[in-house]
Structure 1
Amino acid sequence: MANQSDVLKIILVGFPGLKEEYYVPVSLVMLLLYLASLLANGTVITLVVWKKNLHKPMYIIIANLACADLLFDTITLPKIIAKYWFGVTMTFPECLLQMFLVHYLNTTDSYIFMLMAIDRYFAICKPLRYSSIISNKVVAISCWVCWVVASVTALTALIMNSQAPPCGYNRINTLMCTNIAVTALACKDVSIIKKTTFAFSMFILFVPLSFIILSYITIINIIRVSANKENWQKAFYTCTTHLCVMTVHYAPRVFVYTANEVGLVFNADLNVFILCLYSYIPHIANPIIYCLRNKAITQTYRSFYLRIKKIGVRDHLSSSTVTK
């Protein structure tokens, strides 16, 4: 048990069973994950902002998703890497802030996935009315609403957990400060906090997920009836790929929240590994699935790359001429 002054410091343990000699390899894997996310999501955001031909509803939604994913990785991965490298700790207010941002950005992801499914529904099922219903302005406002509404539930968790600070144990056996981890540190009765946050979590997960499943079922059914075999197979593959990504986002979270609510206990290292899988892998996969397989974005990326390459060659030739 820590004394009262130590409680002001929160220690992120990471993988509880990890031996010290494995700190560097594991932290390097995390660094690679962060760099991959930075490259993939940063490229998507840059291309969508830079190229006017990508100023379209679907790409605006994708850019918002990439922004949320990149921010999530930035507020979590460098912190746990610094812990493994330098033994960095956190204050309780810093932990609360990270908890707020973690739940805020996860909730934003959930709402943006729903917005993406709605956009695809109108694009495929109502193509003649799509441009009149889904405009850049409508999508921009919708994305803004997603960010604002997501902050409300995250702020609720922040306020409730701030009323139950840790008074003894100050070690969090995972990679980041989450509502479940912070609540476990409190000495007072937190049953109300757990029930309230669980209700909010289920609402955040199931309401968007219901829209997503309904949208894609309708899309697949319409494509199956109206399209030829080749287009049907291509569209079915695209839809199922999107659904797989969203399943990875939603299913583990529902399982973890439900298991915590009913009191199921699992191996701590396995919990952290699952957290890594559903938190970070989708953030790298999303740009590939939604963007790099998209012809408009790949063509834009090629033109961007060729332009940078030409500038580099021209600068090299200029420097060579000056040297001579």
Structure 2
Amino acid sequence: MANQTGVYEFVLLGFPGLTERYNAAVSAVFFLIYNVSLFSNATVIGLIILKEHLHQPMYMVIANLALSDLIMDTATLPKMIAKYWFGHESLSFFACFLQMFFVHSLGSLDSFIIMLMAVDRFVAICRPLHYCSIITNKLLLLICLIFWLISAMIGLSIAIMGAQLPYCGPNKIKNCFCSLTPVSILSCVNSLMTRRIVFIIALVVHLLPLSFIIFSYVIIVWKIRLMAGSENWQKLFYTCTTHGFVIFFYFVPRLAVYTYNQFQLISNADFNVFLICLYTFVPHVASPIIYCLRTEEIKNTLVKVVRKAFSS
């Protein structure tokens, strides 16, 4: 790579049009988001690992999602906090593409894991009598491992494609972290083909799981309507709508930005970065609350742990 590029570091601009007087406020927001995500996701992972009665398929999937979000936030947010707090905005060439690997691999993993959660809900609601025989801990762990490996290969492929482009001039990235599109447009050569390949990969990685999620929710809602006489139908419907909140914020802005960037429909760089932060970080904060802390079993376990800690 060294003989292909004259750029040895990149500069993260974050929100390019933001004046310095807002730096403290932006860094405080990123700091708050990171700490809430760190605490909530770490709490969920710790409870599921330490409490044996939570060693169930659904909670294992939730733990994988929490771990993915925790790694993603740790790979991106501390650098943005340092940029706006201390002015440390540069990343080495290697660090940028390492971050790109995490961004694209974990972004893909979240899509797969959310789809797997939809599968779990679909079987639990539509085939409740056969749930235990279909969904097992061993099967879920194997599928999660496969998803981690596939996602790592996707992230590695994208990072390699980006790193192989020559960079010999501009090095200022209009984003809060290194991802393929804002980095590749800084290349000395036309990177349109690389961006199109990654765009196709992104469509496959996100549209296929989203299609299944939508299909499963249509069936689930139809099933809930048939259960209208049951006392649990309102609880099931409320659970589906709250889960839909996370799904909406994860997929819709992401696919919109991917499409817009291909056709350069967003001229406002700050708005583009805002949308990227919206679909990257908001679900990471909301997921532990919606998927976990609103789950009675996890919530009751957390209450018991807290009470025991304070009583001792």
Aligned partner of residue 90 in structure 1, secondary structure: strand
Deviation of 1:302 (Å):
0.8
| Residue in 2 that maps onto 1:65 | 65
CA deviation profile, 1:112-158 (whole Å, cap 9, x unmatched):
00100001111111111110110111111111111111112212211
**Is the 2:27–2:84 contact (alpha carbons within 8 Å) kept by the matching residues of 1?**
yes
Instruction: State how far apart, in whole Å, the 2-side matches of 1:83 and 1:166 are.
Output: 23
Deviation of 1:274 (Å):
1.5
Instruction: State how far apart, in whole Å, the 1-side matches of 2:222 and 2:11 are.
Output: 50
In the alignment, structure 2 segments of 5+ residues that lack a partner are none
Aligned partner of residue 7 in structure 2, secondary structure: helix
| Residue in 1 that maps onto 2:77 | 77
- The correspondence of residues 32-47 of structure 1 with structure 2, limited to 5 A, is 32-47=32-47
Deviation of 1:230 (Å):
4.3
Paired positions, count: 308
Instruction: State how far apart, in whole Å, the 1-side matches of 2:226 and 2:83 are.
Output: 55
CA deviation profile, 1:153-193 (whole Å, cap 9, x unmatched):
21221111111132100001110001111111101121220
Instruction: State how far apart, in whole Å, the 2-side matches of 1:166 and 1:5 are.
Output: 5
| Residue in 2 that maps onto 1:26 | 26
**Is the 1:165–1:186 contact (alpha carbons within 8 Å) kept by the matching residues of 2?**
yes
Is 1:96 the counterpart of 2:94 in the alignment? no
Instruction: State how far apart, in whole Å, the 2-side matches of 1:47 and 1:220 are.
Output: 31
Instruction: State how far apart, in whole Å, the 2-side matches of 1:44 and 1:36 are.
Output: 12
Deviation of 1:86 (Å):
2.8
Instruction: State how far apart, in whole Å, the 2-side matches of 1:293 and 1:83 are.
Output: 34
CA deviation profile, 1:235-280 (whole Å, cap 9, x unmatched):
1121122122111101111111111112223211111111221111
- The correspondence of residues 242-321 of structure 1 with structure 2, limited to 5 A, is 242-311=243-312
**Is the 2:249–2:282 contact (alpha carbons within 8 Å) kept by the matching residues of 1?**
no
Is 1:132 the counterpart of 2:133 in the alignment? yes
Aligned partner of residue 10 in structure 2, secondary structure: strand
Aligned partner of residue 11 in structure 2, secondary structure: strand
| Residue in 2 that maps onto 1:316 | none
| Residue in 1 that maps onto 2:149 | 148
1:23 is matched by which residue type in structure 2?
N
Instruction: State how far apart, in whole Å, the 1-side matches of 2:166 and 2:247 are.
Output: 34
Instruction: State how far apart, in whole Å, the 2-side matches of 1:220 and 1:74 are.
Output: 36
Deviation of 1:227 (Å):
4.0
CA deviation profile, 1:23-72 (whole Å, cap 9, x unmatched):
12210111011000011111100110110110000000001101111111
**Is the 2:174–2:269 contact (alpha carbons within 8 Å) kept by the matching residues of 1?**
yes
**Is the 1:6–1:170 contact (alpha carbons within 8 Å) kept by the matching residues of 2?**
no
1:153 is matched by which residue type in structure 2?
I
Instruction: State how far apart, in whole Å, the 1-side matches of 2:126 and 2:245 are.
Output: 21
Instruction: State how far apart, in whole Å, the 2-side matches of 1:266 and 1:224 are.
Output: 44
Aligned partner of residue 232 in structure 2, secondary structure: helix
Deviation of 1:223 (Å):
1.7
**Is the 2:7–2:167 contact (alpha carbons within 8 Å) kept by the matching residues of 1?**
yes
Percent pairwise identity: 47
Name which one, 1 or 2, has greater alpha-carbon Rg: 1
2:280 is matched by which residue type in structure 1?
S
Deviation of 1:6 (Å):
7.2
Structure 1 pair 228–266 and aligned structure 2 pair: CA distance change class (3 A): farther
Instruction: State how far apart, in whole Å, the 1-side matches of 2:7 and 2:95 are.
Output: 13
Instruction: State how far apart, in whole Å, the 2-side matches of 1:68 and 1:204 are.
Output: 16
**Is the 2:5–2:166 contact (alpha carbons within 8 Å) kept by the matching residues of 1?**
no
1:120 is matched by which residue type in structure 2?
R
- The correspondence of residues 150-299 of structure 1 with structure 2, limited to 5 A, is 150-228=151-229, 230-299=231-300
CA RMSD of aligned residues (A): 1.5
Instruction: State how far apart, in whole Å, the 2-side matches of 1:148 and 1:203 are.
Output: 17
The answer to which of 44-53 and 76-85 deviates more is: 76-85
Aligned partner of residue 7 in structure 1, secondary structure: coil
2:266 is matched by which residue type in structure 1?
V
Instruction: State how far apart, in whole Å, the 2-side matches of 1:240 and 1:259 are.
Output: 28
The answer to which of 239-248 and 170-179 deviates more is: 239-248
Deviation of 1:229 (Å):
5.8
1:13 is matched by which residue type in structure 2?
L
2:249 is matched by which residue type in structure 1?
V
Instruction: State how far apart, in whole Å, the 2-side matches of 1:263 and 1:22 are.
Output: 27
Instruction: State how far apart, in whole Å, the 2-side matches of 1:6 and 1:152 are.
Output: 27
Aligned partner of residue 17 in structure 2, secondary structure: coil
TM-score relative to the length of structure 2:
0.95
